[in-house]
Amino acid sequence: MPVEELIFPDRLKAHQQKIKQVFNEVSKVVVGQTYMVNRLLIGLFTGGHILLEGVPGLAKTLTINSLSKALHLDFQRIQFTPDLLPSDLIGTMIYNQNASAFEVKKGPIFANLILADEVNRSPAKVQSALLEAMQEKQVTIGESTYMLDLPFLVLATQNPVEHEGTYPLPEAQVDRFMMKVYIDYPKKEDELEIMRRMANMSYSDTVSKVLSKEDIFSIRNEINQVQISETLEKYIIELVFATRRPAEYDLNDFAPYIQFGVSPRASIALNRAAKAVAYFDERDYVLPEDIKEVAHDVMNHRIILNYEAEADGIKTKDFIEAILRKVPIS
């Protein structure tokens, strides 16, 4: 059955218009950073958690806050600090003297949209508390397990790990993020506009709500119906295997530096993200360019280089670019 029969054209156009409206609403507060908003929406519409990394002051937190205001979703911001406890995230059991029994006090993780701000400022035991929620969409408190309300999405920010007072995220948690997006400094013209807005102390703008839960689930269904050919499915697999066995793909210059390639989660994420890119471009089929566009964000945090790579100045970005050049589409 062709995709045209599966996706209702009128409803598709309405959703496309709402997505553009979300960009417009966020731009009322955040100047530039269209790329960041695009990646956050890809995560929202494909059920993938997003990790944003960049130095302080690049509007990571402001962008997520602004996006949350454009959605009819429960939103919680959790500021990660060195003294944060796992129970501060997921909740705990408290004793009710009137009822003479223990009761569950749920934590802020019980929301649709979680902003894990500066997630790398808390030690591993706190970061690990997110693992079950991110993967299974559930939380265990005491002996009971509680399902989280869907959609559930973790949007995390972190400063570069070389900054003082930060902790590297556990590899198991990093792999659960669909994409890790590096945020760079704004362009000159964008920074000029930022300066003009923020220097005006009376400046304020409000973000209108655009998307409901029903819209989000409908868009997810429409993205799921975007077609990807068997050729491109095999291309994704070849990209993934090139990270694990670089010598077999004429990537001998990088082979000595690879400790671990990407996990199977990468192939799933490449497929979903590429479909979302095609959908945003108002197409019902995936092109090779869609896969290449998201390859860096999907794979950069999943490839683990050894110490020799750091000593020789080898970057993950260079390895991914070499893979995209070497691996053919057959």
Query: Would the pLDDT of 3 be above 60?
Result: no
Asked if the peptide bond before residue 151 counts as cis, ω within 30 degrees of 0, the response is yes
Q: Which residue has the tokens 């429409």?
A: 222
What single-letter amino acid sits at 288? P
Q: Tens digit of pLDDT for each residue in 285-311?
A: 999 999 999 999 999 999 999 899 888
List beta partners, residue 157. 52
Q: Which residue has the tokens 């001998």?
A: 252
Q: Give the residue from 249, 241, 247 showing the smallest Cα distance to 303.
A: 241
Name the strand (E) or helix (H) holding 117.
Answer: strand 113-117
Burial of 33 (0-12, 13-18, 19+ CB in 10 A): buried
Q: How is residue 177 annotated by DSSP?
A: E
Query: Would the pLDDT of 2 be above 50?
Result: no
Q: Tens digit of pLDDT for each residue in 228-257?
A: 999 999 999 999 999 999 999 999 999 899
Contact 247, 23 (CB under 8 A): no
Instruction: Supply the pLDDT for residue 1.
Output: 40
Q: Tens digit of pLDDT for each residue in 79-125?
A: 988 888 888 888 887 877 777 777 888 889 999 999 988 888 888 77
CA dihedral 193, 62, 134, 218 (to 10 degrees): -70
Q: Tens digit of pLDDT for each residue in 49-75?
A: 999 988 888 888 888 888 988 998 888
Q: Tens digit of pLDDT for each residue in 306-319?
A: 899 888 888 999 99
Q: What CATH number should be reported for the domain whose range is 227-326?
A: 1.10.8.80
| CATH of 3-82+111-198+209-217 among 3.20.20.105, 3.40.50.300, 3.30.70.2740, 2.40.50.840 | 3.40.50.300
**Taking the domains of the chain in order of start, what are their residue ranges?**
3-82+111-198+209-217, 227-326
